[in-house]
Amino acid sequence: MRFTIYKFLSIVLVIDIIALVWFLTILNWVAVIATIIVFFLSLTLQVILVKCPNCGTRPAFLLLAVWTLLLDFELYISDTVLLRNCPRCDYELDRNLIK
């Protein structure tokens, strides 16, 4: 169930970025603030939600740190959607094993 929520939050992040750009173009500042809050809440939930059962690493946190340093959020979204193995120990993250 957590893995499904994790994938759903990736879709929410993409939709939220589109909504953020839309609200910035029409200058609706209340909606901009609301979408930024939703963005950071979904990002935080996504980072906390998945933990590797083998090494204890949070793969989403590691991916977020790498792609934030490289300033490439699109690759973060693609990596989180296609997350199959732990980036640290290369352990296969199965839907039943994620704790």
What tokens does 53 get? 């059962």
With respect to residue 68, please indicate whether it lies within any of the assigned structural domains: yes
The first and second tokens of residue 34, run together, are 């609301």
- Does 65 map to a domain? yes
- Inform me whether the pLDDT recorded for 31 exceeds 70: yes
Q: Is 92 helix (H, G, I), strand (E, B) or coil?
A: strand
Summarised one tens digit per residue, pLDDT across range 68-79 is: 767 777 777 777
Q: Are 97 and 53 in contact (CB under 8 A)?
A: yes
Residue 67, helix vs strand vs coil:
helix
The residues that bridge with 85 in the sheet, in sequence order, are 92
92 lies in some domain: no
**86 belongs to a structural domain:** no
14: tokens are: 């993409």
Question: Given this model, what pLDDT does residue 35 score?
Answer: 95
Number of domains in the chain: 1
What is the extent of the structural domain holding 62?
2-81
Residue 31 inside a domain? The answer is yes
Euclidean distance between CA atoms 61 and 52, whole angstroms: 11
